[in-house]
């Protein structure tokens, strides 16, 4: 198997048993693991008795730390990047560093694995053949409304990440802007209390408004359907 200098390693989104053997082997073998949150990383690594040193790498320090990482890799170090959960770079830090490594001609590979977006998509019952991933829904109401209206014009399934604390606000906007559109909320994927709720935004408001929402949220919206090609 080819030896790379840098590894983008996907980690579980909930159930720790979803860490692949290849990912576990890689995290054991590299010299340093870069992690968005070192505390969360150590919980995962501790579960598998992985003792590789962990270093902080996040949106606020990437420009400062990237040059040093490049120097270490050129000096022979091997490193891995992990997100708090799921696949690195997907609504998580790492893109800036990957671009730097490409510019410097350093070798890298991805260790594929869990992703909340694709897990929610295949469970949703919405068309999975084409989709658009929008990342996290904006916090500000005006930006959130513009994003919903943009996504509502797409013929394809739209996928968003959302905080449990703001889910109700987003569902209220969806109920107002795309009242009859089919919406899916996937919560706590791969965990004990996994839930996939389907319906209109108003129906989901009735469901989730009865209690405090917990867990990581992936929200999906049905597209307009296929558009006919012009004749």
What pLDDT digit, counting tens, does each position of 151-180 carry? 999 999 999 999 999 999 999 999 999 999
Average pLDDT score over residue span 49-53: 98
The pLDDT assigned to 226 comes to 60
The helix or strand, by DSSP H or E, that contains position 217, with its residue range, turns out to be: strand 217-221
pLDDT of residue 1 exceeding 60 = no
Reply yes or no on whether the pLDDT at 123 is more than 70.
yes
Residues 9/81, Cβ–Cβ less than 8 Å: yes
- Range 85-100 average pLDDT: 94
pLDDT at 227 over 60: no
For residue 3, what pLDDT is reported?
Answer: 87
Distance CA 229, CA 156 (A): 15
Instruction: Indicate whether 2 pLDDT > 90.
Output: no
User: Does the pLDDT of residue 51 top 90, yes or no?
Assistant: yes
CATH pick for 116-221 out of 1.10.620.20, 3.10.129.10, 3.40.50.300, 3.30.950.10: 3.30.950.10
Residue labelled with tokens 């965990």:
191
Of 149-153, 178-182, 186-190, 209-213, the range with the lowest mean pLDDT is: 209-213
Pick one of 3.30.470.20, 3.40.50.2300, 3.40.1010.10, 3.30.1380.10 as the CATH number of 6-111.
3.40.1010.10
- Tell me, what's the pLDDT at 230? 47
Report the Cα 14 to chain-centroid distance in Å. 12
- Domain boundaries, given as residue ranges, for the chain: 6-111, 116-221
Mean pLDDT of the chain: 94
147 vs 125: CA distance, rounded Å: 22
pTM to 2 decimals?
Answer: 0.91
Q: What is the pLDDT of residues 27-36, one digit of tens each?
A: 999 999 999 9
Pairing of strands 183-187, 195-199: antiparallel
Q: How confident is residue 229, by pLDDT bands cut at 50, 70 and 90?
A: very low
Locus of tokens 């996994």? 194
pLDDT at 60: 86
User: Distance of CA 142 to CAs 134, 145, 149, 191, Å?
Assistant: 16, 5, 11, 33
Distances (CA, A) of 197 to 116, 117, 185, 217, 222: 15, 15, 5, 11, 14
């Amino acid at each position: 198997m080819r030896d790379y200098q840098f590894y983008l390693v996907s980690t579980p989104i909930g159930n720790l048993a979803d860490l692949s053997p290849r990912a576990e082997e890689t995290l054991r073998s590299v010299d340093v693991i870069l992690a968005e949150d070192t505390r969360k990383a150590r919980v995962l690594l501790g579960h598998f008795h992985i003792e590789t040193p962990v270093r902080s790498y996040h949106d606020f320090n990437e420009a400062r730390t990237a040059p040093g990482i490049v120097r270490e890799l050129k000096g022979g170090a091997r490193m891995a990047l992990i997100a708090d959960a799921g696949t690195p770079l997907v609504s998580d830090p790492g893109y800036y560093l990957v671009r730097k490594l490409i510019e410097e001609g350093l070798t890298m590979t991805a260790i594929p694995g869990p992703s909340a977006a694709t897990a929610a998509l295949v469970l949703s019952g919405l068309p999975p053949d084409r989709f658009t991933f929008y990342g996290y829904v904006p916090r500000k109401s005006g930006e959130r409304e513009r994003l919903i209206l943009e996504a509502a014009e797409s013929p394809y399934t739209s996928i968003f990440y959302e905080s449990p604390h703001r889910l109700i606000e987003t569902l209220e906007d969806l109920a107002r802007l795309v009242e009859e559109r089919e919406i899916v909320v996937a919560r706590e994927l791969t965990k004990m209390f996994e839930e996939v709720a389907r319906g209109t935004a108003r129906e989901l408001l009735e469901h989730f408004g009865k209690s405090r929402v917990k867990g990581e949220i992936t929200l999906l919206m049905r597209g307009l359907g296929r558009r006919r090609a012009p004749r």
